[in-house]
Chains A and B, each alone.
Chain A
C-alpha cells in the first residue's frame, strides 16, 4: 500500500505554552481524494490546518507532540513558504486576499511551486473564475464575499498546490455561491489532479463532496468515516445536519448534554 499524501499522527498543538487546542489527533489524506474535517466553532480545525501549513509561530503556538508527514517527509518544522513550495497551500479562514492589491496583482504576487508554469497557472485561474477576469484591475478590498473567496482560491491555485487546504469555504456566503464554488473546486481537482482537505462547520456542505470525513471536538477526533456512514450516524444528523429524529428544527449541539454524546462516541 502506498503511503497517504498527508499523514498527521498524534498531533498536539499548544498556544502560549498552556492552551492545548489540538490534543493528539491523527488523520490521513490519500492522494487525489477530498477529505473533510468537521467540527463546531473552537474544535481546533483551524489550528490543525495552521500546523500543517506551518503557521503556528506567529501566534506563539507549538507542535508539542506528534508528526506531520507529507509524501513521507516530516514537515512540522518547516517555515510556511517552504511548505507552500513543497505543494501544500492554504486558503485561510480570515484575511485571505491582499486587500490593497488589485485582483491581477493578487495572482501575480504568489511564488508558484518550483517547476510549475506560472503563466499557465494564471491563465487557468482566469478560466476557472471568469468573474475574476472581469475584475482584474479592481482592488481586492472592494470585492464581495463570494468574489473574495474566488480570488483566495484562485491565488492559492496559482501556487500550483498538490494539496489544497481550505478553511471554512462556506463561511458567510450564500448557499448558492457555496455550491457553485464547491463544484468549481471539484472540477479543478479533477483537471489538475489535486488533493483537497476541507475544513467546515457546515457538515451538510462538506459531506456532499468529501470521500472521507473526520469530526473534531475539543481538540480531538471523535468520529470518522465515509459520508454515508456519518450521515447515518445519529449524532451527526442531530447536531450537524439538523435532521435528527424527533427534532424538526436544527438543534444546537449545546442542547444535548456533553456526557451523553461522549458516551455514545467513545463507548
Chain B
C-alpha cells in the first residue's frame, strides 16, 4: 500500500514535469533541456516570494507561478525566437546553454545550500494516513495539482481556439501561418505554459522535501517519462510517468536505493530499443528528430 502511494506521488511529480517537455516538443519540435533548471528557478522564485509575502502563502505561490509563466514567455521571446529557421539541433543546444546559465545564476542569487520554502511559507507538511499507508499533505497536493493541470491542458488543447491553433501549429506550421496563426505567439504560449507547470512542480517538490541544486536532476529524470510516452502525447507522458515511477519505486524497494538515479534512464533505453517512437507517439514524428 505504501508502495502504491509512493508510486502515485512520484508519478505525479514526473507527470507534472514531463507535460512541459511534451508541450514544447509537440508545438515547436524543440527539446527543452533547460526544463529541469526552469523548474528549479520556479522553486527558488517561491522561496523569494515567500519571504516577500510572509503570512500569505497562497499569494506567494500564485505570484511565483505567474513569474514562471512570464519567464517561460521571455525565454522564448528573448532567446528561442531567434532559433526559428535554424536547425533543430541549434535550438536544443541553446536550451542546454540556457540550463547551465540558469544554474549559475541561481547559485549567484540564492545560496547553494538546501532551503526549505515550506517553512518560509509558514506551513507544515503533515502526513495523512490512508489505510495503513501515509502520504504527506504536499504529496497529496501534488497529485491533485497534476490531475488539474492535465485536465486543464486537455480541455485547453481540445476545446479552445488557441489550444486548437497550438495543435495545428505543431502539425503543420506552414499551413498554420497561412491560416493567419502567428507562430511566435503560439510558441511563446507553449513556453509560458510549460514553464508554468515546471514552476508548479518545482515549488511543490521543494515544499515536500527540500530545495537545492539537485532539483534539476528531477527535471532530467522526468524526461525519460515524456519520451517513453512518445514525446508528442500528453496521455503518453502520463503513462510514461507511471511506468518510470513504478519501476523506480519498486527497484528502490526490492533491489537497491542507490539505483534510483539510473532507473528512469534504463527504462528509457529499454523503450528506445523496443519501440523508439514511444508508447503513444506518432511513428513519423520521431523520424524527423
Contacts and interface: CB of A to CB of B under 8 A. Distances in A.
A108 B161 CA distance: 6
Contact of B176 (A79, A90, A100, A109): A109
A109 B181 contact: yes
A155 B171 contact: no
Contacts of A58: 85, 174
B174 A109 contact: no
A39 interface: no
B96 interface: no
Given A97-B175, A155-B179, 11 more contacts: A53-B178, A55-B177, A84-B177, A92-B175, A98-B167, A98-B172, A99-B172, A105-B164, A109-B167, A110-B181, A112-B180
A109 B177 CA distance: 11
Given A81-B182, A81-B183, A109-B161, A101 B167 contact: yes
A80 to B, nearest CB: 4
B14 to A, nearest CB: 26
A111 interface: yes
Contacts of B174: 55, 58, 92, 95
A28 B137 CA distance: 70
B177 A79 contact: yes
Nearest to B169: A109
Nearest to A109: B168
Contacts of A81: 177-178, 180-183
Contacts of B168: 98, 101, 105-106, 109
20 contacts: A55-B178, A79-B177, A81-B178, A81-B180, A81-B182, A95-B172, A95-B175, A97-B175, A105-B167, A105-B168, A108-B161, A109-B167, A109-B168, A109-B176, A109-B181, A110-B179, A111-B181, A111-B182, A113-B180, A155-B179
B164 A101 contact: yes
Nearest to A159: B180
Chain A interface, >50% SS class: loop
A96 interface: yes
B221 interface: no
Contacts of A100: 167, 171
B180 A98 contact: no
Chain B interface, >50% SS class: helix
A42 interface: no
A153 to B, nearest CB: 12
B165 interface: yes
A84 B164 CA distance: 18
Most B CB within 10 A of own CB, among A79, A111, A112: A111
Given A57-B85, A101-B164, A110 B171 contact: no
B190 to A, nearest CB: 15
Contacts of B177: 54-55, 79-81, 84
A85 B180 contact: yes
A160 to B, nearest CB: 9
Nearest to A58: B174
A89 interface: yes
Contacts of B164: 101, 105, 108-109
